[in-house]
Structure 1
Amino acid sequence: MKKLFTTLSNIWKIQELKERIVYTLMILLVYRFVSHAVLPGVDATLLGDNTKSGILGLLDMFAGGSFSRVSILALGVMPYISASIVVQLLGIAVPSFQKMQKEGESGRKKLNQITRYLTVAITAVQAIGYVKTQVPAEAIIIDHTLFFVLATFVLSAGTLFVMWLGEKITDKGIGNGISLIIMVGIIARLPIALSQEVSSRVVGEGGGLIALVLEIVALFAVVMFTIMIVQGVRKVPVQYAKRIVGNRQFGGVRQYIPLKVNAAGVMPIIFAQALMFIPATLTGFFPSLQNTWLIQFSDYTSLAYSLTFAFLIIAFTFFYTAITVNPTQMSDDMKKNGGFIPGIKPGLSTSSFIDDVISKITFPGAIFLAIIAILPSIAVKFGIKSEFAHFYGGTSLLILVGVVLDTLQQIESYLLMRHYDGLMKTGRVTGRTGIPAASGSNAVI
């Protein structure tokens, strides 16, 4: 405990780090304050119970409740994330985008500019859909045509404002701005969810304090398990040839390639979740399908939903790892720098060896990721309230763990540069080395 307080005091002694932390907290406070501003022309008292479920509930969670409050920031950063994913996938499939990725800083700026323009287009489309389908007609107190035009522009401006706040945090604060904004939106739901869970356990016949303590212990164990998956790496040894240049020796040392157990990050869950919402969308548009087998996929706690969801996550984990991790490129780069894996011939043999290692560690990583994803449905089966059960796994928990580790890594780097002890007594916070959802410094999740 004494070391913890010493570390916190050391953080406050570094002027630049202190200013960055204060700046980040102020920007996040501004975001939370503005997120409670309701769209002009809407009477908040007439919204009633506007809670969302399914994919809309997921969007509402990422937006910190702004989606259901009909806030000016209702769309949050989701259009930006969608645009970032599209640009990233184009960078894998389109040669011109691949060329920009290899152009360094200039290419990164071009890709970021394309991402911004695409964000504006996606935001405009989503704003129109949101106004048409999610704003209760009885809550609109001005002319509906005027409200439709006004709300579309305001929602688009709100998303651009959130994106600007995120970029300001990345440039002048600590951590990744967009990721921190998403994390704050998720954490904002925790007090309400926790209070509901406490009330359900303590008041009435919910099991009392013992059941509540067991839930907290289980949540702690799940978080530790998630950290283990996010941090897990397989170190492949690489030996570099010794070179003598003048009177100095270069190379001749052994290093490691850290291959992550979960190289795909949170993306397989996002892709799988998008597909799992298709049956619910179809039954919503075509009521006649509600009496068919598709209705099973409207309940995320059902066995059919969980098994299908887990299978899709495993499949997408292999797919996303295959398109983002290139063993041939790694082998070529190693060969150019005079490096080799002990006992493995450079070139094709090295590429095949790395590919084999990635295949072996991806399978357990995919299984563990699928388990984390379906834990909320298992928690609901054990009597935990749905709102609180979302913190037991899924996209929200992976984002929380990843963002916290990433931010702690940056703080630790400041401490170590000033010759202070790091946050950990032994070892270092390694943070995330992947999970990009955009090109450049504004990569999220």
Structure 2
Amino acid sequence: MSAIESIAKNSDLRKRILFTLALLAIYRIGVHVPTPGVDGSAVLSFFQAQSQGIFGLFNTFTGGALSQFSIFALGIMPYISSSIIFQLLTSAIPYLEALKKEGEQGRRKINQYTRYATVALAIIQGYGISTWLMNSTSPDGHPLVIAPTVAFLPFQIMTIITLTAGTCFIMWLGEQITERGIGNGTSLIIFTGIAAAIPGGAQQLWELVRTGEMRFALVLLLVAFMVAIIAAVIYMEVAQRRITVQYSQRQGGGGMQSMQTPTSHLPIKLNISGVIPPIFASSLLMFPATMAQFVNTPWLKALQDSLNPSGAIFNIMFVALIVFFSFFYTEIVFNPNDVAENLKKYGGFVPGVRAGKSTADYIQRVLERVNVVGCIYLCTICILPGIMVSQFNVPFQFGGTSLLILVGVALDTAQQIQSHMITQKYEGFLKGAKIRSRRVQF
């Protein structure tokens, strides 16, 4: 039986998939609803001129909503930023760390704080971007704001309300998809925005072939290379370094005791930090280039020229920041001491390594070696777009953070679909089975 037939017969899974697709369609419709008071064509040309700065990175994650300055212009990024901030703070603030250890009740409180921080960040970003728009013009000199007052409210107030409400609505859509749909809602929203740009890139590539600017044989080689890169990314995203763990367990029978050691594994992903290091590194390097568009300072302009995305200085700093954030973020989300303590608590041990501090040191050494491999992988994927644009004149960005997000979210969603299918088969097996009890006399 094929996967499609299995999904068709699984009514619950089918409803979840249709529900997810319906909410994602609502999100894509909202991307094209403009914010009141702006000139859409002038705003589009303005953000296209800023595509190499931090606005270009944000526009990728919003699925083009920022360049159109729609009601979803801020996208889900305030919620992502707030989630990352609180994830970092849980290791620095004892109160949040205690909440994290309380289980479901503590996680609900942290999620509530995250929502409040999301609203605050959306208000701040809405104020900043509305102020820039009022003081900026398009490349041809046209003002971006055509209505200083909208519905008896100043443009800034109306923009802040609109963008904050749009972000809260997207956040609600993501939570609904996570609870009632399939996959992680926040990740799927970002996935949808990035995937929406793929047809446009394919069309640009076809135009180059049609006009004779690029040979068809070269296009075939590029497509084959892209497929190979995607396969490599999939392999690295699912790759694990498994540490053998054994558990001591005494079992009695017939007055005698025997020692058994069930074997398990402690999996450590090669890319533990995910897409966090590239996002942080890109934001830091693109921030000077973005500020140079608004502040006319000679030293800032010189810094912008030196940080050309296709230049050697940019790539060297990009790699250095990715390595730094990879090790920094891994230290926060994975604590070898806690893992070793939990293993010791439940009778687990690594063969040939003493329990306690020796186990923690061993896990730390393995983690550092795995992290080195993960850093090499991340750096290679993240500098790939600049190489393809500069060396092969590819008209779109291939690789980098976008590719990591697309592959990661697709794998996670496929895994959840498979889990639902297995659960349905298991429930169907139990319905057809009769469990009989047997009396035992002593």
TM-score, normalising length: structure 1: 0.88
- Residue 227 (structure 2) pairs with residue 220 (structure 1): yes
- Residue 411 (structure 2) pairs with residue 405 (structure 1): yes
- Give 1:45 shift: 4.6
CA shift in 2, pair 1:215/1:275, >3 Å: same
Residue pair 1:282, 1:289 contacting (<8 A) in 2 also: no
- Residue 234 (structure 2) pairs with residue 202 (structure 1): no
Match of 2:434 in 1: none
Q: Structure 2 matches for 1:101-180, cutoff 5 A?
A: 101-134=100-133, 138-144=143-149, 146-180=154-188
Write out per-residue CA displacement over residues 63-86 of structure 1, whole angstroms, 9 at most, x where no aligned residue.
110101010110000110111111
- Give 1:142 shift: 2.3
Write out per-residue CA displacement over residues 100-159 of structure 1, whole angstroms, 9 at most, x where no aligned residue.
000001001000000000001000000011112146663433234622211110111000
Q: Which runs of 5+ in 2 are unaligned?
A: 138-142, 427-442
Deviates more, 1:358-367 or 1:136-145: 136-145
CA shift in 2, pair 1:249/1:100, >3 Å: farther
In structure 1, distance between residues paired with 2:79 and 2:259: 44
TM-score, normalising length: structure 2: 0.88
Percent of pairs identical after alignment? 39
Name the count of aligned residue pairs. Answer: 411
| 2:7 counterpart (4, 11, 32) | 11
- Give 1:205 shift: 2.9
Write out per-residue CA displacement over residues 179-227 of structure 1, whole angstroms, 9 at most, x where no aligned residue.
00000000111111111111113312312x2111111111111111111
In structure 1, distance between residues paired with 2:373 and 2:42: 49
Q: Structure 2 matches for 1:204-283, cutoff 5 A?
A: 204-207=212-215, 209-244=216-251, 252-283=261-292
In structure 2, distance between residues paired with 1:309 and 1:319: 15
Which of 1 and 2 has higher RCO (CA within 8 Å, sep 6+)? 1
What SS does structure 2 have at the residue aligned with 1:255? strand
CA shift in 2, pair 1:133/1:251, >3 Å: farther
Q: RMSD of aligned C-alpha atoms?
A: 2.0
Q: Structure 2 matches for 1:212-361, cutoff 5 A?
A: 212-244=219-251, 252-284=261-293, 285-289=295-299, 292=302, 294-297=304-307, 299-361=308-370
In structure 2, distance between residues paired with 1:370 and 1:212: 25
Amino acid at match of 1:148: Q
Write out per-residue CA displacement over residues 160-196 of structure 1, whole angstroms, 9 at most, x where no aligned residue.
0100011110010000001000000001111111111
In structure 1, distance between residues paired with 2:301 and 2:77: 32
In structure 2, distance between residues paired with 1:172 and 1:249: 47
In structure 1, distance between residues paired with 2:207 and 2:260: 62
Write out per-residue CA displacement over residues 311-333 of structure 1, whole angstroms, 9 at most, x where no aligned residue.
11112111211222111111110
| 1:396 counterpart (379, 402, 409) | 402
Residue pair 1:279, 1:295 contacting (<8 A) in 2 also: no
CA shift in 2, pair 1:146/1:408, >3 Å: same
- Give 1:245 shift: 6.7
Residue pair 2:54, 2:290 contacting (<8 A) in 1 also: no
- Give 1:294 shift: 4.8
- Give 1:9 shift: 0.9
Q: Structure 2 matches for 1:357-396, cutoff 5 A?
A: 357-386=366-395, 388=396, 390=397, 392-396=398-402
CA shift in 2, pair 1:139/1:305, >3 Å: closer
- Give 1:16 shift: 0.4
Residue pair 2:246, 2:264 contacting (<8 A) in 1 also: yes
Residue pair 1:283, 1:289 contacting (<8 A) in 2 also: no
In structure 1, distance between residues paired with 2:301 and 2:42: 33
| 2:194 counterpart (186, 191, 195) | 186
- Give 1:349 shift: 1.1
What SS does structure 2 have at the residue aligned with 1:418? helix
- Give 1:12 shift: 1.2
Residue pair 1:100, 1:107 contacting (<8 A) in 2 also: yes
Q: Which runs of 5+ in 1 are unaligned?
A: 421-445
CA shift in 2, pair 1:291/1:72, >3 Å: closer
CA shift in 2, pair 1:134/1:403, >3 Å: farther
In structure 2, distance between residues paired with 1:377 and 1:256: 39
Residue pair 1:201, 1:211 contacting (<8 A) in 2 also: no
Amino acid at match of 1:227: I
Residue pair 1:230, 1:261 contacting (<8 A) in 2 also: yes
Q: Structure 2 matches for 1:58-77, cutoff 5 A?
A: 58-77=57-76
Residue pair 1:197, 1:384 contacting (<8 A) in 2 also: no
Match of 1:36 in 2: 32
Residue pair 1:289, 1:295 contacting (<8 A) in 2 also: no
In structure 2, distance between residues paired with 1:278 and 1:30: 32
Match of 1:424 in 2: none
Write out per-residue CA displacement over residues 36-69 of structure 1, whole angstroms, 9 at most, x where no aligned residue.
0001223435545232412101101111101010
